[in-house]
Chain A
Amino acid sequence: MFEELLEDIAQENGLREINTYLKLCTGIGAIILCLASSGFVPPLFIAVILSAAIIILARVPPATYAELFILPAGFAVMSVAGIILITGGQNVLWHWDVFPGLAFSITKESINEGFFVFCRVMGGMSALCFISLTTPMTDIFTAFRQCRVPEPVIDLMMIIYRTIFILMDQVVQVYQAQVMRLGYSAYRESIQSFATLCGAAFIASWDAGDDLIHAMDARCYDGRFALLGENRPVELVPCLAAAVFLAASAGIVICAGRFSLLQV
């Protein structure tokens, strides 16, 4: 599960050198346009373009990207099924009264609504993945500091960021040792092993965190982490590409925002 964080891919992606704000504006702009749309075409357009950008420009392996989408797509399909059953509408295709006060039905309107939500999730997820896969967390910390996010919050973010990696190492090591000693062979033992795993990881990380603070104190830490992040300049071509993409998406939201899958 933790073998490959998106962060690892982001550190080596093809758009690594593009200005952080430009990438964040593109991703967040795409999310807002997906949400502002009232039809399925704009989110689908955004999903296709951003997925192409991730695979072709950021050079993320298609298999890795597809793997990222399997779980959200599975959730989206199940969620859409739920929405289709409860939304209702005029053109009823199937109906079932479960009990007084709750009925399931499939209508043309509910299919349209379900398909729209599915496309919106796909559009939103591709925009989120665009940010995750092209912008390393260290660049985002720099952007936060420049945007005047309070210092304690940035410090806490960096400590949590560091701790996640310490914890993951601890968890993997202890877990492998437990598996080798049949720690997960029965349900009761699994609970006991999992609790020991969490406790051991917690104590070891606490010690690592303490050591970190002491080491930093020894180097004159004054309550503010030095952050050497440097933002790249905004270049003309990426800026134009982002502007054209966002303008085209906005145009589609205005012109084709109300198209639905089935004619009602």
Chain B
Amino acid sequence: MHIMEGFLPLQWCLVWWIVALPCVIFGIYQLKKILAADREALPLLGVTGGFIFILSSLKLPSVTGSCSHPTGTGLSTISFGPWITAVVCSIVLLFQSLFLAHGGLSVLGANIVSMGIIGPLAGYAIYRVLRDTRADIFLTVFLATAVADMVTYVTTSLQLALAYPAETGGFAGSFILFLGIFAVTQVPLAIVEGIVLALVFKYIIALKPDILIRLKVFSEERILKARGEME
């Protein structure tokens, strides 16, 4: 999903930077507020960033100038909300381009919009809708993660289609083509990522539920109940 350096024309690089920057700036404002209230949130944010880095470094080739991999943003958006996720993702994407040559600097804005903003926003919406219902905790995590992943890829397809519309069918033709190519790798990957993150939550609830209680991801009562059901 990381669009690679040099793939987007200059005007589209600028457009996506302009879209990404206000969201990242708002995220920095929220980050300052969280760190002022609870300085111990810093290590967790660091862990989350490292986790996203590792997960989204597992990449598979795709035929669209991009690549497919788990995004790992579900955990961050559930724990800290979408705006701080945008900041964490921006840092992770910068590190990935500099450490591993995944993505790039000119296309960083486009990658932030897809993986750091739109995808996590969609995942967060699902989480907020299901959080206070009777839906199972693990189902909520699975859906939020899988949807965040899928929406990220839909956004990347949109970005590529806008930059390279097809001669026949224009933007829509190109969008369908890119979406179709991504779907082959991404639908199974989103499902697997959802399952993996739900199992990660299960593991954390079994061994260290206080992390989730402190972050108010779910109410203490529901976490302890889920833990009780597992035993």
Contacts and interface: CB of A to CB of B under 8 A. Distances in A.
B101 A68 contact: yes
B207 to A, nearest CB: 6
A196 B66 CA distance: 29
B105 A128 contact: yes
Contacts, number: 255
B58 interface: yes
A159 B104 contact: no
B211 A156 contact: no
A160 B49 contact: yes
B28 A5 contact: no
A75 B42 contact: no
Interface in B9-30: 9-10, 13, 28
Residue from B6, B98, B99, B204 whose CB has the most chain A CB atoms within 10 Å: B6
A125 B101 contact: yes
A156 B166 contact: no
Contact of A82 (B43, B167, B177): B177
Residue from A43, A192, A202 whose CB has the most chain B CB atoms within 10 Å: A202
B6 A82 contact: no
Interface string A97-138: 000011101000000000001001111110111011000010
Interface string B160-199: 0000101111001110111001000000000010011101
A162 B47 CA distance: 9
B200 interface: yes
A1 B64 contact: no
Interface stretch (A204-212, A230-238, A242-250, A255-263): A204-212
B51 interface: yes
Interface residues of B, number: 73
A72 interface: yes
A78 B206 CA distance: 44
Given A34-B6, A82-B65, A86-B174, A210 B40 contact: yes
Given A36-B10, A122-B6, A199-B200, A152 B99 contact: no
Interface string A162-198: 1110111001000000000000000000011011101
B66 A75 contact: yes
B101 A129 contact: yes
A30 B199 CA distance: 45
B91 interface: yes
Interface string B30-42: 0110010001101
B53 interface: yes
Nearest to B57: A1
A31 B47 contact: no
A28 interface: yes
A175 B99 CA distance: 22
Contact of A86 (B62, B99, B173, B204): B173
A79 B61 CA distance: 10
A137 B98 contact: yes
A89 B40 CA distance: 58
Contacts of A210: 40, 43
Given A31-B105, A132-B99, A203 B64 contact: no
Interface of B: 4-7, 9-10, 13, 28, 31-32, 35, 39-40, 42-47, 49-51, 53-55, 57-59, 61-67, 75, 87-88, 91-92, 95, 97-101, 104-106, 164, 166-169, 172-174, 176-178, 181, 192, 195-197, 199-200, 202-204, 207-208, 211
8 contacts: A72-B4, A101-B169, A102-B177, A124-B6, A125-B6, A128-B104, A164-B95, A195-B200
Given A88-B166, A132-B97, A195-B200, 7 more contacts: A72-B5, A124-B4, A124-B6, A156-B46, A156-B49, A160-B92, A195-B203
